[in-house]
């Protein structure tokens, strides 16, 4: 379950940001997780609950924004529906993932004294 190592990287990142801003506490995290990122939001939430103990994130709530996979033609940019063959029906060019592979820390809300 790689979600634990993702949370470890997330907490490290938040700690660095909190230090830089001289935060006294972190209250909320917002992360964006794509459907094709290989990260399962539910497992990520579980890993976070376990891992945040005794870190700067101990009292920070994490909100996960799921992002659906969206494919489009790499040539004419026409949309390709999910589950379809990933080649453009109109021009034959291969599909390209427009969004849905992100593993991103979007925002941190922290208390600054």
> Given the rule CB under 8 A, which residues bind another protein?
1-2, 5-6, 9-10, 12-13, 17, 21, 23-25, 27, 31, 36-39, 71, 74, 83-87, 94-97, 102-113
Least distance in angstroms from the C-beta of 90 to another protein? 15
Do residues 70 and 27 make contact, with C-beta atoms less than 8 angstroms apart?
A: no
Least distance in angstroms from the C-beta of 32 to another protein? 9
Task: Please state, in angstroms and rounded to a whole number, the distance separating the CA atoms of residues 48 and 40.
Answer: 12
Least distance in angstroms from the C-beta of 54 to another protein? 20
């Amino acid at each position: 379950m790689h979600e634990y190592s993702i949370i470890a990287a997330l907490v490290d990142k938040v700690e660095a940001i909190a230090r830089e801003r001289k935060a006294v506490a972190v209250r909320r995290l917002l992360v964006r997780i794509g459907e094709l990122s290989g990260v399962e939001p539910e497992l990520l939430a579980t890993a976070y609950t376990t891992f945040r103990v005794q870190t700067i994130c101990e009292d920070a709530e994490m909100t996960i924004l799921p992002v659906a996979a969206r494919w489009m033609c790499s040539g004419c940019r026409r949309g390709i529906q999910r589950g379809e063959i990933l080649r453009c029906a109109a021009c034959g060019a291969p599909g390209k993932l427009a969004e849905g592979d992100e593993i991103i820390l979007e925002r941190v809300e922290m208390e600054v004294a």
